[in-house]
Amino acid sequence: MDLSDHRKEYATHGLDRDELLPCPLAQFKVWFEQAKSAGIIEPNAMVLSTIDDAGAPHSRTVLLKAAEDRGLTFFTNYHSRKGLQLDHEPRASLLFPWYGLERQIHISGIVTKTSEEESIAYFAKRPYGSQLGALASDQSEVIADRSVLEVRLAELKAKYPEGKVPKPQNWGGYRLIPDTYEFWQGRLNRLHDRFLYTSSAGSWGIKRLSP
């Protein structure tokens, strides 16, 4: 499959230094709201990249559930592949690929677990089916076929009525505490606009990067 001639010119927007807010989280929120307004499908979908104990990278899409001064939060199974990798190496990165706006945001930092109270509170807000699914799936484990999941789901549905599903002990939140943010805006001739925020002594510096 030859894709060498498959390309698109980015000409929708530009990004100037004086457009950027001093706080990267505030800038993230501005771009996030613009992604929502533009109709980007699941603008909170982000690519989480982790490292295994052999040093190999792994990436998958997860959903951002909170963006606050204390960090960016998502929830998952602690015994999943990503959970085990974060236990081994707590550094990770997040990528928001908003192709419809010809934009990307890349964020890196240290990941910590949220409190059990936060995890319980969020689990209680999940749809009934998602709660049952968290109990039914031993995430990342090998199974014979889909019927294993369907049988388990039916058993749990019979056991736990809506509003009574307990949070699994191995399920909860992670919070990435950023030390870098990069805002990328596509431009003509592949001369894209890239700005890197880095944290130092409690404040943020901003530098333009060559594309």
Domains of the chain by residue range: 17-118+170-209
70 noted as active-site residue:
no
Alpha helices (H) along the chain: 24-37, 81-88, 116-125, 128-136, 146-159
Using the CB atoms, write b or e for 16-33: b if 16+ within 10 Å.
eeeebeeebbebbeebbe
Using the CB atoms, write b or e for 163-179: b if 16+ within 10 Å.
eebebbeebbbbbbebe
Specify the pTM. Answer: 0.93
Indicate the DSSP class of residue 201.
Answer: T
Of 60, 70, 190, 208, the active-site residue reads: 190
Task: For strands 171-185 and 71-77, give the pairing.
Answer: antiparallel
The pLDDT profile of the chain, 211 residues, written as one tens digit per residue, is 988 888 888 878 899 999 999 999 999 999 999 999 999 999 999 999 999 999 999 999 999 999 999 999 999 999 999 999 999 999 999 999 999 999 999 999 999 999 999 999 999 999 999 999 999 998 888 899 999 999 999 999 999 999 999 999 999 999 999 999 999 999 999 999 999 999 988 899 999 999 9
pLDDT in tens, 121-179: 999 999 999 999 999 998 888 899 999 999 999 999 999 999 999 999 999 999 999 99
The CATH number fitting domain 17-118+170-209, selected from 2.40.50.140, 2.30.110.10, 3.40.50.2300, 3.30.470.30: 2.30.110.10
